[in-house]
Structure 1
Amino acid sequence: MGRNVVYQPILNFTKYCMIAAGIWPLPLSTENALLLKLYSTYSTFVQIFLPLFLSSLCIQFVVAVTDTYSDNDPDKLFKHVSYIITMGSVEVVVIICQKEKFKGVVSFIVEEEKEIVRSEDNEILKFHRFQVKLCRASNWAVFIFTFGVAISMTIENFLQRAEIEEYNKAHGEEMEKPLPYELYYFGLNKNDHQTLLLVMISIANIMIDLLVASTKMIFISCIIFVPSTLKKLQIKFKKIEFREGNLFVNVGNLAFEHQHVIDFVENLNDLIKYVILLEYLLNSLNLAAVSIQFMTNQQLSPIFYFSFLIIQTFVLGWSANEIKIQSEALAHALYESSWYNQNDAIKKMLLTMILRAQKPLVLTTGPFDAMTTESALRVMKASYSYVTLMMNKYE
């Protein structure tokens, strides 16, 4: 990351996806009043659209389950449950993104990254460059697989509709052609308003994909960034300058910076720990549901969705584990400095910082234990158990 390299911030791709989805938490970097007004209107529309779409999914699911004349095809039910789970978690994240506390987290990342990029230390820059590449690769994977699900679903629906159309012509029947989503259409007849509903669903599909992708990407980006700021602090601890006249200032600034990072991680954890718990619990069910879909129907969309869930689960687990590792290294970095050559007042301050660094910074799954790669493996084990249970029930 040389001085002449054009640097792309870690939140760059995520920011533009969130802007497109209407949920970017910070003000837009523009003075154009018309553009700001249009974006505000669009953002408000998204805040209304999402709960309506989720409500429509839930109502239609209840209608399908309670309909005595419906065959309640397990494949359709599993697919419906998967949609409800996904959109429910998206709605929770959208609400969190509008909170002032979360805006503070994003602002901290933006400002802290500017300091990292201004650093002259190659070790700090090299580590952060790796984190940026990891974040970009993870976000692109989430984006591609999210839209892969949507495109494959659209193709599958088109082929299914064409097959039914051909059957109707050959047999003189009027079999109902399915729509991409099983929704409650609030009085609109699916047969009489097919074209209108297809257009509405196509527009909604793009918005939904942007919302799903951006809400997953923002948490991934925030978590991947944390080790960068911890690594920067480690290197500062190792290379702390004990210059006469600036001794208390240097050590005091590092102590303040250390506390600032601790507060940042704790605030991030407070905001997302229950969302992470929900994601891990629901990912187990989602993985099971899409596995059943593929085994019973062997379509392409479950493969894309399965890949999306796997990437999200393991990236979150690995990145959270990296936070724990890097924070544990802070105490060792301080101990490697020449603290033992300082006066008693400085020694006491540094030893206090060493003691404070003994407690690793972690992201937790709700009120439970720290999120690590082991947490991701538990999700896989749970999903396997759910698949076994579901297959036994519907054999």
Structure 2
Amino acid sequence: MLLRDIFPKNEHFRVTMYSCSILGLWPFVFPKNPLYQKMYFRYSKFIYIFTWLFLSTYVVQLIKLLLDEVIFVEEIMRNVSITAIQSLSLIRAYALKSKRSKNMINEVLSTEKRILGSQNSGVIGIYNEFAKKNNSFITIYMASMVLDTCFFVIYPLCAPPIEIFYPTRNETVTKRMLMLSAWFPFDEQKHYMAAYLFQFSCGPITEFYIILSDALTIGLVIYAIGQFRILNELFANFDKYAIQVQNQLKCSKEEACLTALRECTIMHKKMLSFIDDFNDVMGNIMVLDFLQSSFQLASIVLQVLTTKVTLINFLLGFQFALSMVMRLLIYYWCANEIIVESSRISVSIYNSCWYEQPEVVKKSLLLLMQRCNKPCTLEIGSFGIMSLETFISIMRATYSFITLIYNVNNEK
């Protein structure tokens, strides 16, 4: 079976498409084979349910740690840092399986066919530029997260055992660390190798769910930036675009200008609808992401601060924190670019010598210019908008969490 019989041809989602299909997150597979498609969707559900079940072991272990006689701060921080982001990735994955998400992905696929089939080299160049950016960002992010997974695998083999003293029992218990802070229905210390091998085989699946759900979401956001950049290009060079339309349709200049304006207006309306759909699907999830990000980052840093300083502890904490900051920076930088590019449309129209256009086109451009004064934004539910300013506020909140928890722990 050829690759084109399994996946649609698409450059923007090239890396994301193949990667997401591994865990059943890519919605469009086997278009010509309903039987394989049905089997793939069942596989997707199985992986999704399995990941939720595996996540439940983190939650049970967190409850046990909080109810334990001795508060094991390091282990609690390890648990929280993974549980928070893993829960969010599964919620995001569920949202990406919705009909509206599939429609957004399908719009990217159809738009690429239309753009690459056009004769506008400037538009094609911009589209390819952002397709490459998307693939590059996702590849770098995936590589960073895979490195995290490698550190988690190596960590139990290098980390020294932890001794915990229980006053009521007058007993010191030695615990060997595992890859993840998870509950087992047996004594994981007595059967340490079995517990380690189980996490070694199943843990990476849950880790990759984080990577792939983010990859698909980021791809949608970067697509929106590229489309707004294309709109800026078309409006800034409106005369050239109209001449190209005139040559293709063999019509008058006024008809060509009206056709070019209609195409740009339709494209702008589609992008407004695309952003609205994204906010409706992801808005509440972004609220959860925003609320947990600071505490999660603080948990990672506190692991390093509250444990014995060793090379493996430092490398694991540093790399994990770096990956999570990179993840947030990609999201909020892309959201900020949508604000910048969408707000530039009115400036591009103004710089396009709109006053030299036919009267009916001139009036339409003026109306569109006024309509574009309000930038498009990705929303954090009803809390606010995603931007670099919001990213900085997350970093500040992270510092506050670290200071507060670290000082409280030291006082104890």
TM-score between the two structures when normalised by the length of structure 1: 0.86
> What residue in structure 2 maps to residue 259 of structure 1?
269
> What residue in structure 2 maps to residue 203 of structure 1?
201
Helix, strand or coil at the partner of 1:231: helix
Taking structure 1 as reference, are residues 383 and 176 closer, same or farther at Cα in structure 2, changes over 3 Å only? closer
Amino acid at match of 1:255: T
Matches within 5 A, 1:54-65: 54-65=55-66
The superposition leaves residues 303-360 of structure 1 with CA deviations (integer Å, 9 ceiling, x where unpaired) of 1110111111112222111111111111122233343344443333222222211111
Helix, strand or coil at the partner of 2:344: helix
Amino acid at match of 2:65: A
The superposition leaves residues 167-205 of structure 1 with CA deviations (integer Å, 9 ceiling, x where unpaired) of xxxxxx9966443223223x3443565554433322211
> What residue in structure 2 maps to residue 15 of structure 1?
17
- Rounded to whole Å, the distance in 2 between the matches of 1:122 and 1:277 is 39
Taking structure 1 as reference, are residues 256 and 151 closer, same or farther at Cα in structure 2, changes over 3 Å only? same
- Rounded to whole Å, the distance in 2 between the matches of 1:231 and 1:309 is 28
The superposition leaves residues 242-261 of structure 1 with CA deviations (integer Å, 9 ceiling, x where unpaired) of 72444544332322221111
Helix, strand or coil at the partner of 1:266: helix
- Rounded to whole Å, the distance in 1 between the matches of 2:173 and 2:271 is 64
CA contact (8 A) 2:86 2:207 kept: no
CA contact (8 A) 1:234 1:329 kept: yes
Uncovered stretches (5+) of structure 2, i.e. residues with no partner: 1-8, 163-171, 243-251
Helix, strand or coil at the partner of 2:253: coil
Residue 372 of structure 1, aligned match among 349, 370, 387: 387
> What residue in structure 2 maps to residue 45 of structure 1?
46
Amino acid at match of 1:258: H
Helix, strand or coil at the partner of 1:370: coil
Matches within 5 A, 1:1-395: 9-24=11-26, 26-29=27-30, 31-32=32-33, 35-68=36-69, 71-160=70-159, 177-185=176-184, 187-190=185-188, 194-237=192-235, 238-239=237-238, 240-241=241-242, 243-297=253-307, 298=309, 299=313, 300-395=315-410
Amino acid at match of 1:108: E
CA contact (8 A) 1:318 1:372 kept: yes
Helix, strand or coil at the partner of 1:384: helix
TM-score between the two structures when normalised by the length of structure 2: 0.83
Uncovered stretches (5+) of structure 1, i.e. residues with no partner: 1-6, 165-172
Taking structure 1 as reference, are residues 253 and 389 closer, same or farther at Cα in structure 2, changes over 3 Å only? same
- Rounded to whole Å, the distance in 2 between the matches of 1:160 and 1:269 is 43
Superposition CA RMSD, Å = 2.6
Moved more, 366-375 or 353-362: 366-375
How many residue pairs match? The answer is 376
Identity of aligned residues (%): 21
